[in-house]
Amino acid sequence: SPNQLKRILGVLKRRGQKIVFTNGCFDILHVGHIRYLSQARKLGDILVVGLNTDRSVRAIKGEKRPVVCENERAEVLSALKAVDYVVLFDEPDPLALIKALKPSILVKGADWPEDKIIGGDVIKRSEGRVVRIPLVPGSSSTNLIEKIIRAYCPS
């Protein structure tokens, strides 16, 4: 839970660990996600992934998403070597979670302009930094879903 994670991260911060935070839907994991998370992890000592709940994903991506339920998405992310903690959030954006966890570094994809990254101002005010990671061209859950549909449901 966010409260449990806040306590854990507090201990790790007191030990001098640098906390990196990113967030997303991570619906169907693909190479773009893996490269992104690996690069994010290299920026600090601990990588925390804020994961949109199913309800939150539907609000963002539409009623047919997510394809994979939140518990399974969390389990898959948790199994990745790069990821230390996964925490679900149900809000439309991760601002409350970012404020609660107070990471040192906030990471988003380079498709997000820095001034539009939610929580970026909070991180900078606490002397942290915001990092934008380049995306793998053409690599997205939406593109993968469309590719599968074209392959199995040609019109």
Residue 7 predicted with pLDDT over 80: yes
Q: How many CB atoms lie within 10 A of CB 60?
A: 14
pLDDT digits (tens, 9 = 90+) for 10-69: 999 999 999 999 999 999 999 999 999 999 999 999 999 999 999 999 999 999 999 999
DSSP string, 27-52: -S--HHHHHHHHHHHTTSSEEEEEEE
- Global model pTM greater than 0.75: yes
The reported pLDDT for the residue numbered 56 is 96
pLDDT digits (tens, 9 = 90+) for 83-134: 999 999 999 899 999 999 999 999 999 999 999 999 999 999 999 999 999 9
